Chains A and B, each alone.
Chain A
Amino acid sequence: KQEVTQIPAALSVPEGENLVLNCSFTDSAIYNLQWFRQDPGKGLTSLLLIQSSQREQTSGRLNASLDKSSGRSTLYIAASQPGDSATYLCAVKGSEETSGSRLTFGEGTQLTVNP
């Protein structure tokens, strides 16, 4: 059964700092990996989707990398801003054979960027 772990559980940084959020998964037979952002009491906003054949994806100040063989992904946020404060969730989608193409989520990293 796929398990997804996110470290750290919480992170507090000063504005302007570059930071890295980590995600690891136990079964490397994944189809893709998504990073989401969740604000308190809200739904999830998709940030980046990396297909299993890709190594990284970039959107603005965000860069996500994927190392499928080692079961790891990182989300890099450059020049952090107070508006980046939220919970960041990593989710992996398995193959139809192993998991019915479902998304398995980590518990998230709660990020606080202090002005």
Chain B
Amino acid sequence: DGGITQSPKYLFRKEGQNVTLSCEQNLNHDAMYWYRQDPGQGLRLIYYSQIVNDFQKGDIAEGYSVSREKKESFPLTVTSAQKNPTAFYLCSSSIDRDSQQYFGPGTRLTVT
């Protein structure tokens, strides 16, 4: 099956710990994105990558880091510097930056 996978579905961490969220796609898409969704708010862009080994900050990149070493993988690290990390995180991809975006099932991160 083709698609975008995110793991794990639920993640619990203690405050002060870094955590990495996985995003993998087998759609051969060049562009990949990370969004954060909070209750009552629209999705906000964290980071995006249009090609391997290149990525740009989105609107709320502080406290997050990414890498794009392979076309199919775009992991997101939530660092201890992120003040309010508890949220629903969504990964998406598209053939190129101007095409339809497809989303993964999301990871719900809870930090206590």
Contacts and interface: CB of A to CB of B under 8 A. Distances in A.
Interface of A: 4, 31-32, 34, 36, 41-46, 49, 89, 91, 93, 96, 100-108
Given A43-B103, A100-B56, A31 B98 contact: yes
A102 B45 contact: yes
Contacts of B90: 43-44
Contacts, number: 54
Given A43-B104, A45-B103, A46-B101, A102 B58 contact: yes
Query: 6 nearest interchain CB pairs?
Result: A105-B42, A44-B103, A101-B97, A43-B103, A105-B43, A43-B105
B74 interface: no
Interface in B28-49: 33, 40-45, 48
A34 B94 CA distance: 13
Interface of B: 4, 6, 33, 40-45, 48, 56, 58-59, 88, 90, 92, 97-98, 100-106, 108
A31 B98 CA distance: 7
A57 to B, nearest CB: 11
A47 to B, nearest CB: 10
B99 to A, nearest CB: 8
Among B40, B90, B92, B101, the most chain A Cβ lie within 10 Å of the Cβ of B101
Contacts of B43: 44, 89, 91, 103, 105
